[in-house]
Chain A
Amino acid sequence: MISRQTSFALLLAGYGLVSAAVAQPWEFEQPLAVTEVQGEGIFHHLESSGRRNIAVAGDRVAISWEDNRHETPAIFLAHKSRQSDAFSQAVRISGEDEAYEPSLAALGEERFAIAWEQASRMHLRLSDGKQLGPVLKLDTRQAGQASLTARDNKLLLVYAAGDPKSRHRRIYLQQFETDGLTLHAGAPCKVDPEPLKQAQLYPSVTRLPERTLVAWEDRRHGHTVIMAAENRQPGSCRFDKPQRISEPLPGPRPPYGEGHGVTRVAMDSYDRDRVLAAWADKRDFREGYDIYASHYPAENDALFGPNQKVQDPFGGIAQQWHPSVAGGPSGELVVAWDDGRDDQTNVLLSWYTDGQWSDDLSVPGASGSAIQNHPSVTLDNQGHLHLAWVERDFVGGPTRLRYLFGKTTSADPE
């Protein structure tokens, strides 16, 4: 592994030399089409809050997305066994109204949960790969931006919904019990119960054995910052006071505006009881958004530790968007995003090892002449990498949905 400092020192030595020296943790297979329904006028989107559009349950990998094949935007699910080289036919998950931003989670070894926005309400349903369960529609109004996670057969959903008192959106968390393919909703909890001054948006949730963490975009400071709150009593609605994750710029307050922009936090657990939150951050305004991250727990009283720049120095003046985070139980940790360096839009990865972020890897099969962006990444229990993303030949053109398997190169787990 080449450290960030070392790679920066080698900047002038040439990108090829640096890249060649990096040992990749995954060997990538050929990409697969997720759905054959594509072509003129069809647009696939992987846009869930927290970028959770891919999940692995036991031997099956599933992907959920929105597309307009039937004109009205609708939610679809396709899956395959790990050995198969083709996905199942896409199954429509949502109803007749416009539906957006599905979030996907694996529930145990056999089931998947999907949550999405439809007609300004949260909808959920389960699938075991053969059948779909009934749709559960939540009561909360003006709701959207779903993000799911699951642990020990408990399903957790966070979303942004209208707050009648402030007329802004606030973040809610809701827990669900399951019985086969039937869902039973618990009561919605306000993650931050204080009166709202401004909107809370685009949440992400992670469940640890003894606690739950929620992160979101928050506008209370007059510009968007990333906030997080912790629940140390699973099953209750009691969250500690939220803390800011994204750091302010050092120095005096600027004469105009309130601060720099950040956007779209993604989060996942790793190494049993640790968490990484990653987001796009414009603290260096000349470079546009860069990918920043922060680890939980911090070494002091803070929830999350100091901010780290994930991307390597070669990403400097290029733009980075859409970070997705995946962690594994043995401490594996990877961030994927799309990146405009070298005048191309490719999916890049950086992985965390020995306390350093690796040099960036243009993912083979998810980089090249086509526009390849909006990644969603996950790691299975064995450390294999599963990646879904959107591909198109030109800006605004029709899209294709792609999947890639990366076999771990660490000691063969099988």
Chain B
Amino acid sequence: MRRILLLMLSVLFVPTAWADAPEGYTFHDFDKAMDQAREQNKTLFVYFGRYGCGYCEKTNKEAFSDNTIRQIYTDNYVLAYVDSESGKRLQLPSGERITEHEVGTRYNAFVTPVFTFMTPQGKPLKRLVGVQRIEDLLNAHEEVQAQTGNPS
């Protein structure tokens, strides 16, 4: 009962203002996305952004708004969004509890955006750093699919 009350209280407040993932996609918290990727044996696509990130906004408007990109990334990946400045807490499969900020440092999200394709276990397969165009996301998808044995 106490935990339920705490959960109810937690939704009354916005603990902090998370940066925005692109509209029209289902981005999950990193830990939930890892769980889902393992269950479905799918590749993770992790978007490291931050509150007020200009190049994230540019990539959202110019690349993630594309319907083909939306279809491909929604169908083929489990999507995670990490605000690399936020104190939101996550629990990793190892049992370690860390903040999104620490997930960002661990995966070297030294600029934003950084997009990292990962195995369901969290091992990086490919990184895209900075602003991405539609063709960048398409090329990266094909490269990762070839790498994981699922050429499209």
Residues on A lying within 8 angstroms of B by beta carbon are 41, 43, 45, 47, 68, 71, 73, 98, 100, 119-120, 141-142, 144-145, 162-163, 167-169, 198-199, 201-202, 217, 219, 221-224, 254-259, 261, 263-264, 282, 285-289, 319, 321-322, 340, 395-396
Contacts and interface: CB of A to CB of B under 8 A. Distances in A.
A222 B94 contact: no
Contacts of B1: none
A169 B101 CA distance: 17
Contacts of A221: 52
Contacts, number: 116
A142 B15 contact: yes
B36 interface: no
B50 A41 contact: no
22 contacts: A41-B95, A43-B96, A68-B96, A120-B10, A144-B87, A145-B87, A163-B13, A168-B17, A199-B14, A199-B17, A201-B87, A202-B87, A221-B52, A223-B52, A256-B54, A257-B53, A257-B57, A259-B52, A285-B55, A288-B110, A395-B106, A396-B122
B48 to A, nearest CB: 11
B85 A319 contact: no
A142 B6 CA distance: 9
Given A257-B56, A285-B111, A288-B111, A396 B17 contact: no
B125 interface: no
Contacts of A162: 12-13
B20 to A, nearest CB: 11
Contacts of A257: 52-58
Interface string B126-143: 000000000000000000
A198 B85 CA distance: 15
The prevalent SS among residues of A at the interface is loop
Contacts of A255: 54, 58
Contact of B51 (A47, A98, A141, A224): A224
A317 to B, nearest CB: 9
List the 10 shortest-distance A-B pairs measured between CB atoms, nearest first.
Answer: A257-B54, A288-B110, A223-B52, A256-B54, A162-B13, A43-B96, A256-B58, A319-B110, A258-B52, A256-B57
B92 A396 contact: yes
Nearest to B2: A119
A162 B10 CA distance: 9
Given A199-B14, A254-B54, 4 more contacts: A68-B95, A98-B97, A221-B52, A396-B96
Contacts of A71: 95
A120 B52 contact: no
B50 A224 contact: yes
Nearest to A162: B13
B52 A142 contact: no
A219 B122 CA distance: 30
A254 B54 CA distance: 8
Contact of B94 (A41, A145, A219, A322): A41
Contacts of B12: 142, 162, 167
